[in-house]
Structure 1
Amino acid sequence: MASIHREFLINNAPENIWAVLRDFGQVHKRLAPGFVTDTRVEGEVRIVTFADGAVVRELIVDIDDEVRRIAYAVVGGSLKPTHHHASMQVFGDTENRSRFIWITDVTPNSLGEPIAQMVDQGIHVIKRTLDREATPAR
């Protein structure tokens, strides 16, 4: 199994970052615009379209406001893992800075590198977007 662990800092308060991350149906507008071009929600499944044309169906496994964590699993679409589970979580680092952790476990191992590349591209967009555009939680 390939495990992809990424951690990075965002210059914004964790409650602001969480407000964006928690809005799981608006990834294409609030979290990763341009990298993700469309997001639709059908029940507990989020359908995500990426800029490269890939489309995945993600089952939302958990949204935990207390620990600011969302977990999801790819269950269909153009990506065909045998197993996929990912989580994103936000922690306070300093008063106006947050630590963002994104962990993805996937099989087969051959999907590890392509998914790691997608994660790294996503991080670049997420950091740029949230550093400058995150809005206070309501």
Structure 2
Amino acid sequence: MTDVYSVDVQITAPVRPTEVTDRVRDAVTNLFPEADVTEGHGELLGEAHGMETFSELLHDQEILDTARGQFLADRRGDTFSFDLKKQAAFQGVVNFAVGDPAELGDIHVRVTVTEPSVEDYIDHVAPPTEDGRPVED
């Protein structure tokens, strides 16, 4: 049986005057190809209803524990958020931004989970691990 998730993913990425908008768009869509990306004033705005590709990248890069830590660190009710480095994203690599923002700004991701629960969705995207391997139910 396939689980059904009701999730809204909001992605914002600043576009500085020295940056090429299409390259910033590529950084966003490399990690979130399912996102509908539009151009705002000095930023790109993306909306998606899932994080399947992002989850695959976390598995491939073997950074599930790091991702879980980031998701849980900034969890508020049914929402969690995190920041990603633009340059790494442009290369198709997940690199969480911690500390001071990068000079060109970071990609900000905000995930609101309606169903099932935020904990279940985090488990879906970045499952708990044991000895570096996802724990199966």
**TM-score, structure 2 as length reference:** 0.29
**TM-score, structure 1 as length reference:** 0.29
Report which of the two has the higher share of strand: 1
Query: Which has the larger Rg?
Result: 2
